[in-house]
């Protein structure tokens, strides 16, 4: 699902489940600024995992997700994090 569609589908509901929050946080993390603006989302994910329930989308959580609407009109750019694929070979002797 496209980031904007996911964000708006979350904002359209009153309770959000952990899978939706994890998908949203994952997309945010792929942007370099995300680590500064996903505190409430990560806190809600933690709460959902501990309680095995959906969480109400209100207060700071709703505000944080709404904040990401700035991307709709942003004309700048941010570099994607570089991908590094490293292979390690470990050997043990018994």
Q: Name the residue ranges covered by the structural domains of the chain.
A: 3-73
CB distance 24 to 41 below 8 Å: yes
List per-block mean pLDDT (blocks of 10 residues) for the chain, which spans 94 residues. 88 93 87 71 92 91 90 75 79 84
Look at residues 18, 19, 30, 14 and name the one whose alpha carbon lies nearest to residue 68: 30
CB distance 79 to 71 below 8 Å: no
pLDDT of residue 15: 94
Q: What is the DSSP letter of 69?
A: T
- 56 bridge partner residues: 15
pLDDT digits (tens, 9 = 90+) for 25-52: 888 887 755 566 788 998 999 999 999 9
CB distance 10 to 48 below 8 Å: no
| CA dihedral over 22, 23, 26, 32, signed as positive or negative | negative
């Amino acid at each position: 699902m496209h980031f904007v569609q996911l964000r708006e589908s979350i904002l359209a509901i009153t309770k959000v489940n952990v899978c939706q929050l994890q998908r949203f946080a994952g997309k945010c993390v792929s942007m370099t600024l995300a680590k500064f603006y996903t505190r409430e989302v990560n806190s809600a994910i933690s709460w959902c995992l501990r309680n095995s329930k959906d969480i109400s989308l209100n207060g700071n959580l709703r505000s944080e997700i709404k904040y990401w609407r700035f991307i709709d009109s942003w004309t700048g750019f941010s570099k994607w994090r570089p991908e590094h694929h490293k292979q390690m070979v470990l050997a043990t002797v018994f």
